[in-house]
């Protein structure tokens, strides 16, 4: 597994996915310039089908399975994912070996006429393909019309410009990383729009039987972001929620202190169960699991099951 002629990263072909893969490549080359690093681009089922609602695909891993398969088949050594797209349990034989430094975590509003969320008139059409964002939007502005919209970042911006909606909810990190932050009308408050699990984090995956890849990924990993990733993913696993469940979470890891906030909503936004837990960074997984238990005890599973049934 130490062939210096081939150290391949598997990635989706969207501009954002390629940014993530190329950033990973840059860090690997900076740490070890003598080791060539190449990219293998694959098409995910989520990219191939741009029309279906995310909640109606009927299986998890729609944006990650093909990248993971490239690792398991030996065509690549590393898989690069948006962490929020990853399943809570990885396929057998793969491990989350590291993450890049977390980017901005907030949701943002992109508005055709420059109006903030509070300024949009009743009945205005706001686009998103995320169940979480739909629930949070309905909680904040139940008088707005939700419009389903999917596609890569530039595709969605083009659809908005064509008038397919009046405004759109997006992740701030993707816009910033692609240099599209000029399109941001408003950065939404975390108290109203708690981000998706793993939002803004790039996940680095390799095979469990590839210690060299694991070592190299550990060498470029941001430790605070990795701590946050472990806590948030343990939370989601404990809730038995998928990557498109109506769940928001934010973990903050600083100087061995970890604070984890989370909320679970009903699809109509009328119910919202919120909890927080504080501990140490080395307890990241346990904290996520414990917070999930507290949320379940307050009825979170009922809300998640209802959202899954509706999808």
Q: What's the rounded Cα separation, in Å, for the pair 264 and 135?
A: 9
20: helix, strand or coil: helix
Q: What's the rounded Cα separation, in Å, for the pair 172 and 184?
A: 8
DSSP string covering 260-288 = EEEEEE-TTSS-EEEEEEEEEGGGHHHHH
The distance in angstroms from the start CA to the end CA of the chain is 43
- Which residues are identified as catalytic? 85
Q: Phi/psi of residue 44, each to 5°?
A: -85, 160
Q: What's the rounded Cα separation, in Å, for the pair 298 and 266?
A: 13
Q: Which residues contact 73 (CB under 8 A, 6 or more apart)?
A: none
**248: nearest Cα among 112, 166, 155, 140:** 140
Q: What's the rounded Cα separation, in Å, for the pair 249 and 233?
A: 10
Q: Which residues contact 69 (CB under 8 A, 6 or more apart)?
A: 42
- Integer angstrom CA distances of residue 22 from 9, 74, 172, 214, 244: 9, 20, 19, 18, 26
């Amino acid at each position: 597994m130490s062939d210096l002629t081939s150290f391949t990263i598997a990635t989706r072909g969207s501009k954002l996915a390629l940014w993530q893969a190329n950033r990973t490549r840059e860090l690997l080359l900076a740490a070890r310039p003598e080791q060539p690093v190449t990219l293998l681009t694959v098409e995910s089922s989520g990219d191939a089908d741009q029309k279906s609602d995310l909640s109606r695909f009927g299986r998890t891993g729609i944006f990650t399975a093909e990248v993971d398969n490239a690792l398991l088949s030996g065509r690549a050594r590393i898989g690069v994912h948006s962490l929020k797209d990853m399943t809570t349990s990885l396929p057998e034989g793969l491990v989350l070996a590291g993450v890049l430094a977390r980017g901005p975590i907030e949701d943002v509003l992109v508005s055709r006429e420059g109006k903030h969320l509070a300024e949009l008139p009743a009945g205005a059409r706001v686009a998103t393909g995320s169940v979480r964002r739909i629930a949070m939007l309905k909680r904040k502005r139940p008088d707005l019309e939700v419009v389903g919209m999917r596609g890569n970042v530039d595709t969605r911006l083009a659809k908005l410009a064509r008038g397919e909606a009046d405004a759109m909810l997006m992740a701030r990190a993707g816009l910033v990383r692609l240099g599209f932050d000029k399109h941001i009308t408003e950065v939404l408050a975390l108290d109203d729009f708690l981000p998706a699990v793993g939002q803004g984090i790039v996940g680095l995956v390799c095979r469990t039987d590839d210690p060299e890849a694991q070592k190299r990924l550990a060498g470029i990993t941001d430790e605070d972001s990795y701590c946050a990733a472990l806590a948030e993913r343990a939370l989601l696993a404990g809730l038995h929620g998928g990557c498109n469940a109506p769940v928001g979470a934010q973990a903050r890891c600083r100087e061995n202190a970890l604070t984890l906030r989370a909320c679970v909503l009903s699809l109509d936004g009328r119910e919202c169960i919120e909890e927080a837990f504080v501990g140490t960074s080395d307890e990241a997984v346990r904290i996520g699991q414990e917070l999930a238990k507290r949320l379940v005890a307050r009825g979170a599973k009922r809300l998640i099951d209802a959202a899954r049934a509706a999808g």
